[in-house]
Structure 1
C-alpha cells in the first residue's frame, strides 16, 4: 500500500527571510509568498497525499502536528537558512509518531547530504537533484536500497549513498501542479509585490543555460540544460488553472530563465494570446526587440530581470554573460513596448567597492525599472561563489547559515576593502535613492490613483517598507 504522505512547508517565525534560496517565505522589504511548486510537483504524483504550506496560511505547530498520527511519510523542503528550524519540526513529528519515515528535499541536502544526515539523526533519508519520482517510489514502498538518488540511514545507523537518479528529460511526464494548489492551498494567501493578485505560478521547464556563480538552483538541482515541457502541455495547464481559479489575474512562469529558448517563448506566447490572460516570467536582460514585441502583443505584462550590478567587471566576475550596454538597450526596448520590469540587484558580489555600489545605484536610476529588489550576496553551499568565498577567506564560519538569530538575511561576505556592515547598509541606500525620487514617487501615486486594488496594495506595502527601513536603522544602532 502507498504510504500516506505529508508534504510540509513547516511553520516558521514572523519575519523569517533567508533570501532567494530560503524555500518560499521571504520578508525582505515587503512580505512575499511564492507557491510551493517544488513540493506540489511530487504531491501531484501521489493523489492521496497532503500538502501543507504553513507560513502563508499562518499555521502554527499546534495546527500541523496532529497530521503526524495520520501520515506515515513526512517530506520537508529545506534550505540552508531554514535547516535548523526544519529539523526541530521533524523531531516533533517523530516524537508523536516514531514509526513515521522522514525525508528532506532541496538544494541544501542535495549538496550536503552526509553532513545533513549527521546533523539530523531524525532523518531517514535525503534526496539529491530532482526528487519527484524518488518520493513517489519511496511512498509506494520501494525498498530504500533500490531507490535512485538518495542518501539513507540503514538499520545500523550507517549512511548509505545510492546511485544517482538521472535528470528527467521528458518534462511532460510530470502531472499538473494546479490541481494540487486547488485541493490544498488558498490562492489568496500568495502575493508578490510586482505581480497582480491573485496570481498562479508554474514551471514550464527546469534548468538554466547561464552560469552565474551565485545562483543556487542551476548549480544544485536544476542543471544548466533547459529542459522544457511541450507548448501544448503548458497551455493545457494554463487552461486548467483558469478553469480551477476563474479569478486568477496573472500567470507567472517561474522557470529560471523562460527566455533561454526564444522560439519556444514566442510559440507559447502566441498560444497565450488566444486565452487573453495576463502573464509574467523571468528573463535575461538580452532579449531582442523582435521577441519582446511578440511577447507583449500576446499578453506579457512584466519581466523579472536579474541585473545584479551596474558594473561590467562585477558581471564578468560572476560569469553573468551580460553586457551593461545590452542591458540598457533591452530595458529601453521594454519601456518602449510598455513591458514592466521588476529588476533585481545584489550587493556585495566579488569585486564590490563603495564606487561600484554607487555605480549600481546610478545604473538602476538610469534604466528605471518599474520596481526593484535588492538582495545581499549569499554564498549558498553547492555554488561556485561559496567555494570561492571559502577559498578566498570572504566567508566567516559564524555567518555560514546566512541569517541572524531572528531569521533575517545578513551580509555574510566581506572583503579587505568592504566590511559586512558597509555591504548591509548599501541595501537601504539603494532602495532610498531609487524610490525616494520625485519621478518615481509620482509614478507610484499615479498607479494607485488608476487602480483601487493597487491603492490598497501599495499602502500596505508602503507600511511594510517603512517598517523595513526602521528595522535596518535599529540594526545599525545595535
Structure 2
C-alpha cells in the first residue's frame, strides 16, 4: 500500500507559497520553507514499512492541473492521501483534496495542519468528499491511520482522528504527544531522497540551507504563536544531543552544497544544558568547521557565555521575537520578556560575533499609533543585522484569534489572510487602528530601517568580511527592493 503526501499548489502564478511557516504566504523575500511536518510524518509512515510518494507542489511552483497529472503518473497502489493545509489557503486545499477524491474514488483523504487542527469539524463541513482530519501533532496519527486502512480496521481506534461515520462527524480522543523524538527519522535523510534543497530559500540564511527540528513544543505562552497552541503544545520535548549532532554529520557528508542548518525549534535555547551539550559535540567532531547554523533564541534564554559557545560551535545568527517596543503590549500578549532585556541581548550577540534577525509585529491588544512608533524607535536603537515588521495575523486556535474575534476585529474570510498576489495580509481592523494604517506603518518601518546609510554601510562591511553573507544580502535585497522603493 502506498501513502501519498501532498503539499498542494496555491497561487503558483505569483510565486512559491510557503505553507509551513508561521504566517503562510508568498513572501516579499520569496522565502519558502520545507514542508517539515509533512516530511516527518511521511518518514514515520515509511519507517513503518509503507511505500510513500511525496509532492511539494509550491516548491516546484506547480499549478493545480500539473499537480494532478504528477499524482496520476505515480499513484499506483495509493489508498491514502495526506494533504497539508493552512489558514489562507484552506478553501483551495479542501477543493484540491476533493478533486483527488473525484479522481481516485477508492482512496481515503485526510487533511493535516494548524488550521484543520483548530477547526476540524468546520473544515469537514466545507466539503463532504473529505474523509478526515488528523489533529495536532499528526506523525503517529497518519501512521496508525495507514495501518487501519491497510488492515481494514475500525477507525475508532485511531487516536487524534476526526472523521465521517454513518453520516456524522466523529472525533476520537487526542493522540498523546511524541516523547521519544529520537525515534523520528532525520529530516535531512528524507530531503536527500525526495526533495531538492535548491528549491527552498530562507532569507536570513545562507543559501542553500536545510531546516530541521531538534525539539517540539514551546514552554512559553505568547498568545499569537500558532504552533505551540494548536499543534505541539507547551512542553518542550527534545531530541538527544547525540541524535541532533548525528543529523548535522549526515548533512555534512551528504549535502556538499549546503551552507547552513536552520534550527526551526520555537525556542532552541529553552534548554541551556542541552544547547551546551550540542555545541560541545559539534566542536569535538569539527562540524563547526563545515556547517554554520542559526536558531530562534528568546532574549531571556541566552546570555553572553552561551552565545560565545554557540558562536564557537558554528552558530551564525539568532532570531528573537522582540515584537513590541511597549511593555504594556508585551504583557498583553504574554510575551514574558521586558524591554530592558533587549538591548543587553543584542549587545551581547554582537560582542560574541553573532548576527541578529529581529521580529517585530503591530496590531496586538493595546496597540496605537504611538505604540507602533515605540516599536520602530526600539528597532532603530537596537540596530540588528536584519529586521522584519508585520501586522498581527491572528490564526484560529490562538488566544490572539479569540481576542480579535470576540471584539469584532476580524473582517473577511480565511482567504483574506493573503493578498491576491499571495503576500501577507491582516484581517485585523480595529476602530482605533485600521488594516491600512498597520500595513502602511510596516511598509514605512521597512524603508526607514533598510534605507539608512548607516545600515547600508554595515551590510557592505559584513559582506566584505563574509562573501557568502554578501551573496545572501544581495539575493534578499533583489527580492524586496520593489517593496522598499514603492510609493
TM over 0.5: yes
Change (3 A) 1:230 1:451: closer
1:272 aligns to 2:293 (yes or no): no
Please give the TM-score of this superposition, normalised by the length of structure 1: 0.93
Partner Cα separation in structure 2 for residue 137 and residue 402 of structure 1: 33
Alignment of 1:241-260 (within 5 A): 241-260=251-270
Cα 1:245–1:22 change in 2 (3 A) is closer
> Residues 301 and 340 of structure 1 are in contact (CA less than 8 Å); yes or no, is this contact kept in structure 2?
yes
Measured in 2, the distance between the counterparts of 1:451 and 1:331 equals 20
1:373 aligns to what SS in structure 2?
A: strand
Partner of 2:353: 338
Question: Does the aligned pair in 1 maintain the 2:21–2:33 contact within 8 Å?
Answer: no
CA positional deviation for 1:452: 5.2
Which residue matches 1:144? Answer: 155
Question: Which moves more between the two structures, 135-144 or 4-13?
Answer: 135-144
How far the C-alpha of 1:44 sits from its partner, in A, is 0.8
Residue matched to 1:62? 65
How far off its partner does 1:137 sit?
Answer: 1.6
Q: CA deviation at 1:122?
A: 2.1
On the 8 A contact 2:25/2:418 being kept in 1, the answer is no
How far is 1:403 from its partner? Answer: 2.5
Measure how far apart 1:355 and its partner are: 1.0
Separation of aligned partners in 2, 1:87 and 1:27: 19
**Residue correspondence of structure 1 range 407-422 to structure 2 within 5 A:** 407-422=422-437
C-alpha separation between the residues in 2 aligned to 1:419 and 1:393?
Answer: 13
Matched, 1:358 2:370: no
Structure 2: which 5+ runs fail to align? none
Moved more, 265-274 or 433-442: 265-274
Which residue matches 1:39? 38
TM-score of the two chains, using structure 2 as the length reference: 0.91
Note the C-alpha offset of 1:456: 4.6
On the 8 A contact 2:416/2:425 being kept in 1, the answer is no
Residue in structure 2 matching 1:100, options 95, 99, 107: 107
Q: Once structures 1 and 2 are overlaid, which stretch shifts more, 409-418 or 211-220?
A: 409-418
Determine helix, strand or coil for the equivalent of 1:389: helix
| Cα gap change, 1:21 to 1:213, in 2 (>3 Å) | farther
Would you say 1:297 and 2:300 are equivalent positions?
A: no
Asked if structure 2 preserves the Cα contact closer than 8 Å seen for 1:400 and 1:412, the reply is no
Q: Which residue of 1 aligns with 2:295?
A: 281
> What residue is the counterpart of 1:236 in the other structure?
246
Q: Is this contact kept in 2: 1:378–1:412, CA < 8 A?
A: yes
For 1:173 and 1:21, how far apart are their aligned partners in 2?
22
Distance 1:284 1:269, change over 3 A: same
SS in 2 for 1:290: helix
Cα distance per residue 1:251-297 (max 9 Å; x no partner): 11111100111111111111122322311111101222221122112
Q: How does 1:103-252 map to 2 (within 5 A)?
A: 103-140=110-147, 141=150, 142-154=153-165, 156-252=166-262
The answer to whether the aligner puts 1:372 opposite 2:387 as a matched pair is yes
2:268 matches 1:261: no
The farther-off stretch of 51-60 and 112-121 is 51-60
Give unmatched runs, 5+ long, in structure 1: 474-478
What does residue 476 of structure 1 align with?
A: none
